[in-house]
Each structure stands twice: as structure tokens, then as C-alpha cells.
Copies of this chain bind each other. A is one copy, B any other.
Amino acid sequence: MLNPQNRTDHSLSERYLSVRAQTLQLTQSLTAEDMVVQPIVDVSPPKWHLAHTTWFFETFLLKPHQSGYREFHSKFEYLFNSYYESVGPRVLRHQRGFLTRPTTDEVLAYRQFVDEQMLDLIEQQGDALHVWIDLGLQHEQQHQELLLTDIKYILGTQPLKPAYSDHTIRFDQIKPAQWIFIPSGHYFIGYTGDGFCFDNETAQHRVYLDEFSIADKLVSVQDYLAFIHEDGYRRPELWLSDGWDWVQNKAIKAPLYWENLGQNWYCYTLNGFNKINMNEPVTHVSFFEADAYARWAGKRLATEFEWEAACQTIGTEEQNTAQFLEDEILHPVYSPDANGLCGSAWEWTNSAYLPYPGYQQSKGALGEYNGKFMINQMVLRGGSCATPASHFRPTYRNFFQPDKQWQFTGIRLASSEQ
């Protein structure tokens, strides 16, 4: 997680300010009311994200390293701890949406206070601490994506369905998907570069893979509609047993945000409530849906090892790489002020989230960052329209429970057959 990086303090300050500003920018079009609520337990209030990312710097940088630092408020440690048992007790996750105090204005003052202290700390000890500061920034960028998906959920489940932005956001895949062949052999999986990575991307290790093929495009809305029309949600043989229970118990009939009004399907996007766009990749599907779709299509999902191997292989073939990256991976974080096309999605793999051979959990509170979640979650690879650019990394391991739909999650098919 904590590889040394050659960056000057100067650029560290700049990066710090830039990442912090980007977080705030994402909440610019929200009302004070939007900042508070938590409609499902997975979603955190936007205000909470603003405070928690700040708490992270206060707790892991300022308190241990800034001489004479006095905490902004004695209760914030309790209020804005997410899941760090070793830091102490915390507000229960499902109660985050009841915290009206501190207000957004007070949270902004907290950010301001911590930012000033952090800039001072960077000036004094940036060299020594930049590995930890980088982690704080990576953490904040992860929350930028969560912030956007949580905002989408909050607005998209309002009866009034307000748009988040009026920028036209489209991500069309015009060309049909092609299959890319990946030969059998050894592949080295996991991070070994100079830059930042999370601990769960290590240790790099050798994996033997049989040959397989992988699609160069994600499954489109049009593709997915065929699955719906052929009774995909009503055929138990297409589903994992837990997935079928989920479909039945929650009366799932389509991806999250889709609604069937009369003859047409509509869905909520950050632009508001509109007809579905056939050419986009389907998003907001759970692992259960991705898996069922693949079975219906006579294919399967790739493992995370296959996915990473495919990335490496395609990387040696210029043309494919270019298209692969252009279409799915290198989009900047969504922002109300960006022109960035978007629409790509995290890709469910058929790998459970487990430690790599040789994985070492960090000591102390930061050891709780990744390792303790390695059960009952599936790995996602790639990145979405909401992912900050520096988080697109072939070794990056995202993970969610198999029933989650509220992230920008999609489907890439693979096959063992020729």
C-alpha cells in the first residue's frame, strides 16, 4: 500500500488541494437537505463523506504528527469514524442519516480548519509523511466515487427525481463486441510499480491460467434488454440460488433505476429521468444479475486473474489496447463541470475477494482498511465514469457484496471456448 513516490512537497500540497477541492465540487449542486439523508444503509449522507474524509486526515496525520494539534471538536472522532474499531466507538452506520448536527456549514469549517493544518504539516514534514498523505488522498478519491453514487441514489429515489447536472452525459458503444483470445500460461498478478497501490494488490504472485477469450466491450443496454424480454428474471435455472432468492424477495425486474412505463423503459441518470439509451453499457446491475446474464448468454464472467492477464496481453497489442482503454477505462471522474463522456462501469468478476498469497495486513488502524472485508464480497475490476483517473489501474481490486446495485457496475463476458 505504501510505496515511496518521488514527488516534491510542492506538488504534494497542490495535489492535496486539488483532491480536496474536487470533493467539494461534487456537492456543489446539492441542497442543504440533500446533504443529510441516508435512504439505504449502503448510502452515506454527502455531508458525512465530507466530514469523514477530513476525519481521516485529522486522525491519521494531524493527531499523531502535528505538534500541538488540538482537535477541531471532541465528538467528531466518534461522529465520523467509519469502521475503525481500533480508533474507538462510533455512530452506528445506519444512524448516519439522523445526524443533522454538525450542519454542512460546520463541516465545511472543519474541512477548512483541517486543510490549513494539513498544508502546514505538508510544509514541515511532507517528505517524511507523503506516503500516508497519499493514502489519505487515495481514500478521499475512493469517497469521491462513493459520494457520486450515493448522490445518485439519494436524488434518483426522490419521487421528484431531480437531475444532478444538465450536462449531456452519453457513452455510446457503436461497434459490436469482438472477442480477444488470451493464451494459457503464467501471469504475474498484483502490483509491483513505483506508484501508489493498496495493500490488497500485493503480494505480486504467479498464476497459471488456461486459455480463454474475453469481450472487448461491456454488455450494452440493448443486449441486456434481450435478457429481460426472454424472461431472464423469471427463470430460476439462470440464477445462483442466493440470486434467485434475491430476485424473488426484492421483486427485482430490471437494473436499479429502471422503470417500465407503458411500452417503454426509462431510467434515472444524473441528467434526470429519461428513456434508456440502447447503446450504453448496462450499469447498476448486481453480481447476481451479471452472473445470470452471462449464463443466459452461454458465457461466463472472467476471474479477476483473467481480467488482469487480459489487460497485460492487450497492452502489448497497440490497437486493442487503445480501444479497450478508450472505451472503458480512462474516463475522468464525473463532474458537473466536465464534458467527459461517461458510462463505463466497474466489471464484476467471478472471483471472491480474498487475500493474495503473501498478503500482509498493515499494522494498526490502517490494517483495517482492506483486509477485514475479505469475506462474502466479489471483486470488481476496471473503473467507472465516477472513478478518479488515478484509480484506473490494472491491479486495482474493488469489491462489493453480490447483491449491490447502487455502484456503476456492469458486465464483461468471457469464455473458455474457442
Contact = CB atoms under 8 A, between A and B. Distances in A.
Contacts of A205: 210
A400 interface: no
Given A210-B205, A375-B242, A33 B31 contact: no
Interface in A29-50: 31-37, 39, 47
Copy number in this complex? 4
Interface in A240-297: 240-244, 287-288, 291
Nearest to A154: B100
A98 B372 contact: no
A83 B239 CA distance: 13
Interface string A126-167: 000000000000000000000000000011011110100000
Nearest to A360: B416
Interface residues of A, number: 66
Given A33-B36, A37-B97, A376 B242 contact: yes
A240 B372 contact: yes
A197 to B, nearest CB: 20
A210 B357 contact: yes
A79 B159 contact: yes
Interface string A77-106: 011000101100001000101111111100
Given A36-B36, A83-B241, A101-B155, 12 more contacts: A31-B32, A32-B103, A34-B101, A75-B160, A206-B210, A207-B208, A208-B208, A240-B375, A244-B372, A288-B375, A351-B354, A376-B402
